[in-house]
Amino acid sequence: MSGDTQRASDDGSIPGGLLYVIRFLTLLAMAVSAYLAWVSFSGGAVVGCGPDSGCDKVLQSRWAYWFGAPVSLLALAVYSLILGASCFLGRGASAAAQSKAWSWLVPSALLVAGAAVWFVGLQTFAVHAFCPYCLVAHGSGFLAAFVLLHTSCHVGIGMAPHPTLSPRCWNRSAAVSSSTNRSRRQAPDAFELPTRCGWSSTQPRSGQVSAWAAAESPSCSCLPLPRCESPLTDRP
Using CA atoms, how far apart are residues 85 and 12, in angstroms rounded to an integer?
12
- Flag whether 219 is in a domain: no
Number of domains forming the structure of the chain: 1
Q: DSSP characters for 124-179? A: IIII----HHHHHHHHHHHHHHHHHHHHHTTS-TT-SPPTTS-HHHHHHHHHHHHH
**Alpha carbon distance 186, 147 (integer Å):** 50
Q: How far apart are CA 114 and CA 150, in angstroms?
A: 15
In a domain, 157, yes or no: no
Is 165 inside any structural domain? Answer: no
Report pLDDT for 157. Answer: 54
Residue 54 belongs to some domain of the structure: yes
CATH value at residue 87:
1.20.1440.130
Q: Could you tell me the residue range of the domain that residue 103 belongs to?
A: 2-152
pLDDT computed for residue 50 by the predictor: 84
User: Which range (41-45, 81-85, 214-218) has the least confidence?
Assistant: 214-218
pLDDT of residue 218: 47
User: What DSSP element (H or E) covers 22?
Assistant: helix 16-42
Mean pLDDT of 96-113: 96
* Residue 106 placed within a domain: yes
Q: What is the mean pLDDT of residues 37-54?
A: 89
